[in-house]
Amino acid sequence: MFKGVIFDIDGTLYDYHATDILAMKNFCAFVEEKLGVEEKIFRETYSEARRIIHERLKDTAASHSRVLMIQTALELLGKNPFEHVLELYDVYWNFFLANMKPYDGAEDFLRALKNSGAKISTCTDMTAHIQYRKISRLGLDKFIDFMVTSEETGFEKPSPVMFNFALEKMGVRADEAAYFGDALDRDIEGAAAVGIAPFWFVADRKVSGGDAYKKIFSYRDDELKKIFGGD
């Protein structure tokens, strides 16, 4: 039995990609109506703003900031960010959060882990504020003991700092812990490198490589019940 279990959030506890597609569609429609910028032009500008922010702030939690991306997009469009940035930030995230739902079986799996006495932590490259909002909106906050973010550590996955900090918070050794994540390089290989047992959550995605690692397609997988216990 594992004494500690660590979860990535985006793409691991819920479908980030599908939720982002919906949120971006709503976001662009709002921008077109409010600012008069066509969706195609805004998407291109926003993609460029994202590229600029990631290049400038690579491997930092701030590189994921929607505020900075929206600010930069508005500047590229010749718009005053003070007039729009906070409203646009809320438009994106309020819709995103309203349309989130945990992967099937995730809540039951976390509940079983919690009932078994295991400590549970998240480990995410995003900023803390929005990740707390996501976990709360998913209804999973009652099962999770700790949050570890790259904003807190100053490093991003696959840095061992991230994984070791989660172990430290849970008070368990690497060989007593398991890790669930959806990214092979950042999550799975990063966890394995520090001695944590990795479980690659792929859902229904077609993936290649990583044949040495256990792939998980559903939190209702019978094999998970054998490994971690629960009904």
pLDDT digits (tens, 9 = 90+) for 124-181: 998 999 999 999 999 999 999 999 999 999 999 999 999 999 999 999 999 999 999 9
Structure tokens at 55: 């290049």
Tell me what pLDDT residue 12 has: 98
- pTM exceeds 0.75 for this model: yes
pLDDT digits (tens, 9 = 90+) for 146-157: 999 999 999 999
At residue 169's C-alpha, the angle toward residues 180 and 103, to 5°, is 25
Tell me what pLDDT residue 206 has: 82
List Cβ neighbours of 71 (8 Å cut-off, separation of 6 or more). Answer: 49, 81, 85
pLDDT digits (tens, 9 = 90+) for 81-140: 999 999 999 999 999 999 999 999 999 999 999 999 999 999 999 899 999 999 999 999
How do the domains of the chain map onto residue ranges? 4-13+102-228, 17-98
Count of alpha carbons within 13 angstroms of residue 86, beta-carbon side: 2
Contact criterion met (CB below 8 Å) for 83 and 14: no
Tell me what pLDDT residue 230 has: 60
Rounded-to-integer distance, Cα 101 and Cα 118, Å: 24
DSSP 10: B
List, in sequence order, every beta strand (DSSP E) within the chain. 4-7, 119-124, 146-149, 177-181, 197-201, 214-216
pLDDT digits (tens, 9 = 90+) for 42-75: 999 999 999 999 999 998 999 999 999 999 999 9
Model confidence at 231, pLDDT cuts 50, 70, 90, reads low
Count of alpha carbons within 13 angstroms of residue 15, beta-carbon side: 16
Homologous superfamily of the 4-13+102-228 domain (CATH)? HAD superfamily/HAD-like (3.40.50.1000)
Q: Determine the distance from the C-alpha atom of residue 178 to the mean position of all C-alpha atoms in its chain, rounded to a whole number.
A: 17
Residue that is written with structure tokens 């998970």 in the block: 224
Q: Determine the distance from the C-alpha atom of residue 30 to the mean position of all C-alpha atoms in its chain, rounded to a whole number.
A: 25
- Confirm whether 10 is a catalytic residue: yes
Question: Quick check: 229 pLDDT over 80?
Answer: no
Tell me what pLDDT residue 149 has: 97
**Catalytic annotation, pick one of 10, 15, 125, 182:** 10
Structure tokens at 120: 């549970």
Query: Hey, which residues does 10 pair with through a beta bridge?
Result: 14
Q: Are strands 146-149 and 177-181 parallel, antiparallel or unpaired?
A: unpaired
**Catalytic annotation, pick one of 8, 125, 182, 187:** 8
Residue that is written with structure tokens 């291109």 in the block: 44
